[in-house]
Amino acid sequence: MKIVKSENRIFEFSPLMNPVLEAAPGERILFETHDCFSGQISSEEDVCTGIDFDYVNPATGPVAIKGAEKGDLLGVKIEDIEVAERAFAVLVPGAGVIPDKVAAPATRLIETDTAAGTCSFAGFTLPLKPMVGVIGVAPAGEGVSTGTPGAHGGNMDTKDIKKGSTVWFPVNAEGAMLALGDCHAAMGDGEVGCSGAEVPAKVTVTTGLIKNAPFGRPMVVTEDELMIVVSEDSLDLAAESASEAMVSLVMKSLGLSFEDSLILCSLAMDLRISQVVDPKKTVRAAISLFLLPWDRVAAALAGE
């Protein structure tokens, strides 16, 4: 297994990134990640207004995937997420969904218990649900901050990017240039307060390639569902783009007309908010694999 140490961190996804190592499809890769604060918060006395925001949302990497070329799809299966024992959540005046209500910065400790599968906050015991907040590849155009989501992935903050899920990315540059970080021990849809349970982690992945299978958005495949993840300047735009992308994928994969594809999506597709606190808002369109099997999608995208 290849290991990417946490000191190999980036703060921008860029076509000009140089890989720290190369891995072959199917090879296990372990990414050691910082929390989103780059370790600048270590107690409840530390608040976000006192940290250097130039070092927020680091991603570990990038790793070049052997054989990945522009126009391919890169699949990244999350084999495991091992989180640290302590996580932190923060509030920042002017940030989050109700920014005017946050009068002062606040930091809270969240303790994790991996053996029990729980985390503890304010006397409550919550399910431990590790996820990867930032994961992506080199973008097609100019560089994008690791704090911003887009068609390359990035800071999607989508809680379904968890153990057992496979995230598919459009390859825009030779080697794809995979990097990830910003793990959370728990987070609700929306991330409404402006943070999840931010935690350092060790993330183990394997990768796969579908050659000559262009698709312009990240996709997440879980045990039960296929999701298209879209980030735009507003929730309305993200919902519209995610819906249009799913209708198009249903048409291409199942051979249905536009009208029947749209009706099927209206009957069986869910729109879910991933996050509303980053520079762009993220929505995912989700549909059952029973209706839209991944093998049909993969074959259609590869032109088979």
* pLDDT tens, position by position, 12-42: 999 999 999 999 999 999 999 999 999 999 9
* Residue 35 shares a structural domain with residue 172: yes
Q: Are residues 162 and 238 in the same domain?
A: no
pLDDT of 63 reads 98
Q: What is the pLDDT of residue 304?
A: 76
Residues 239 and 262 in one domain: yes
Q: Which of 130, 32, 120, 33 is nearest to 81 (CA)?
A: 130
Q: Cβ(78)–Cβ(161) under 8 Å?
A: yes
- Domains held by the chain: number: 2
Residue 41, amino acid: I
Residues 154 and 85 in one domain: yes
pLDDT of residue 277: 96
Query: Could you tell me the pTM of the whole model?
Result: 0.97
Residues 193 and 118 in one domain: yes
Asked whether residue 168 falls in the same domain as residue 53, the answer is yes
Instruction: Answer yes or no: do 29 and 158 share one domain.
Output: yes
* Residue range of the domain that includes 257: 219-301
Please report, for the domain that includes residue 255, its CATH number.
Answer: 3.10.28.20
Residues 6+ apart with CB under 8 A from 108: 44, 88, 89, 90, 121, 122
- In a shared domain, residues 9 and 92: yes
Specify whether 120 is located in the same domain as 198.
Answer: yes
* 159 and 191 fall within a common domain: yes
With a pLDDT cut of 70, the percent of the chain lying above it is 100
Among 210, 241, 273, residue at a domain's last position: 210
Residue in the block written with tokens 């999350």: 78
Count of CB atoms situated within 10 Å of the CB of 84 = 15
